[in-house]
């Protein structure tokens, strides 16, 4: 991809809204502040034109997701700090060669995953650490404006979600984190992991079933007993959400769920589980010391 010419670059400046000018060495030179509303594509174009502010804005935008991924996969806060720092440094050095064949987030998760794998190989047999009840990731599960009682209950759910995800085998955990927590599409997850889309979906369904089962006592404690005649609706719903079942199968399951309180509760608990996963990625904040590590790393390559 050919870097944008100076005219293209200044068109971006006007479109996105850089602010402020000031004298530098007797001349007036623009001082830019990128809006966080700028698209990744516009920021990438500016980076390729040599704009360091755009580089910092782009990487700081994606740093929380990289940190969450590192925390989920490594299950160690110190390792997660290393992951986000190493990933952003590698990305900063490689952005000039990034051709845009995937989204920036997909590319960053691919880099982060490689560092996570290296960490896991070095820590084989080491005790794992599940994020504590009062961790930032757990607090983000709580609904905004919740009452204290509801917030405590939501934190309990958040802790249970963390534990359920942490107990997954890494091959299932990374699929669920990328698809259901970070919101990548199945093809994007396949791109990150270097496997086929069918393999992604197969692992995803197993991960969803496992996590929902762990959370079910908290989400739907009064589910009726299985009469022994019900289909296994949870993986069917998971497949439906990934567009894998046709209209006739869907209609048949709808009729059954409408008449069966147990299966309706099981479907509701899966939907609630997936909603919790997405809420755990909200907020966009990373710990202050990690933010400083990121800024320091970016200053070092400016």
What pLDDT, on a 0 to 100 scale, did the predictor assign at position 13?
A: 33
Average pLDDT over residues 210-225: 83
CB atoms within 10 A of CB 145: 7
Average pLDDT over residues 31-48: 76
Instruction: Pull the structure tokens for residue 205.
Output: 């369904």
| pLDDT of residue 168 exceeding 70 | yes
Cα-atom radius of gyration of the chain, to the nearest Å?
Answer: 22
The domain ranges of the chain are 142-282
Q: Which of 102, 99, 76, 68 is nearest to 87 (CA)?
A: 68
Average pLDDT over residues 209-226: 83
**Which range scores top for mean pLDDT: 42-46, 149-153, 209-213?**
209-213
**pLDDT beyond 90 at 293:** no
CA triple 137-139-141, angle to 5 deg: 80
Q: Calculate mean pLDDT across residues 108-115.
A: 95
Sign of the Cα pseudo-torsion (165, 121, 294, 45, in order):
negative
By the 8 A CB rule, do 70 and 108 touch? no
In the structure, what pLDDT confidence band is assigned to residue 286 with cuts at 50, 70 and 90?
Answer: confident
In the chain the first and final C-alpha atoms are separated, in Å, by 23
Q: Which two tokens stand for residue 84?
A: 């986000």
The more confidently predicted of residues 86 and 155 is 86
Assess whether pLDDT exceeds 60 at residue 261.
Answer: yes
Average pLDDT, the chain: 78
Per-residue pLDDT band for 209 (boundaries 50, 70, 90) equals: very high
**Whether pLDDT at 14 is above 50:** no
27 pLDDT band (50/70/90 cuts)?
Answer: very low
SS3 sequence of the chain? CCCCCHHHHHHHHHHHCCCCEEEECCEEEECCCCCCCCCHHHHHHHHHCCCHHHHHHHHHHHHHHHHHHHHHHHCCHHHHHHHHHHHHHHHHHHHHHCCCCCCHHHHHHHHHHHHHHHHHHHCCCCCCCCCCCCCHHHHCCCCCCCCHHHHHHHHHHHHHHHHHHHCCCHHHHHHHHHHHHCCCCHHHHHHHHCCCHHHHHHHHHHHHHHHHHHHHHHHCCCCCCCCCCCCCHHHHHHHHHCCCCCHHHHHHHHHHHHHCHHHHHHHHHHHHHHHHHHHCCCCCCCCHHHHHHHHHHHHHHC
pLDDT at 120: 78
Percent of the chain residues past pLDDT 70, beyond the cut? 74
Name the CATH topology of 142-282.
Arc Repressor Mutant, subunit A (1.10.10)
Using CA atoms, how far apart are residues 300 and 297, in angstroms rounded to an integer?
Answer: 5
| Lowest-pLDDT range of 40-54, 106-120, 126-140, 166-180 | 126-140
The pLDDT, as a whole number, for residue 282 is 72
158-181: average pLDDT = 95
Say yes or no to pLDDT of 187 above 60. Answer: yes
């Amino acid at each position: 991809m050919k870097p944008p010419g100076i005219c293209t670059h200044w068109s971006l400046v006007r479109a996105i809204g850089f602010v402020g000018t000031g004298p530098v060495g007797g001349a007036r030179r623009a001082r830019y502040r990128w809006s966080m509303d700028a698209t990744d594509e516009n920021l990438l174009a500016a980076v390729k034109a040599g704009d360091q502010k755009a580089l910092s804005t782009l990487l700081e935008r994606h740093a929380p997701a990289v940190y969450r991924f590192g925390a989920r996969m490594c299950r160690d806060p110190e390792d997660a700090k290393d992951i986000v720092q190493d990933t952003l440094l590698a990305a900063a050095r490689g952005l000039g060669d990034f051709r845009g064949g995937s989204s920036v987030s997909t590319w960053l998760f691919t880099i982060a995953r490689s560092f996570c794998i290296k960490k896991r190989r070095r820590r084989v047999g080491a005790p794992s650490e599940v994020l504590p009840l009062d961790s930032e990731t757990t607090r983000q599960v709580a609904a905004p404006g919740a009452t204290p009682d509801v917030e405590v209950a939501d934190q309990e759910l958040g802790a249970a979600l963390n534990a359920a995800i942490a107990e997954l085998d890494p091959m299932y955990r990374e699929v669920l984190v990328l698809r259901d927590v970070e919101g990548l599409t199945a093809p994007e997850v396949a791109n990150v992991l270097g496997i086929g889309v069918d393999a992604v979906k197969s692992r995803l369904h197993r991960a969803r079933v496992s996590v929902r089962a762990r959370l079910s006592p908290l989400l739907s404690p009064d589910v009726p007993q299985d009469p022994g005649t019900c289909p296994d609706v949870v993986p069917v719903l998971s497949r439906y959400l990934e567009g894998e079942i046709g209209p006739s199968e869907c209609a048949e399951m709808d009729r059954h769920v409408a008449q069966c309180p147990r299966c309706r509760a099981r479907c509701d608990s899966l939907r609630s589980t997936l909603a919790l996963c997405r809420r755990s990625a909200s907020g966009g904040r990373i710990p202050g010391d990690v933010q400083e590590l990121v800024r320091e790393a970016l200053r070092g390559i400016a």
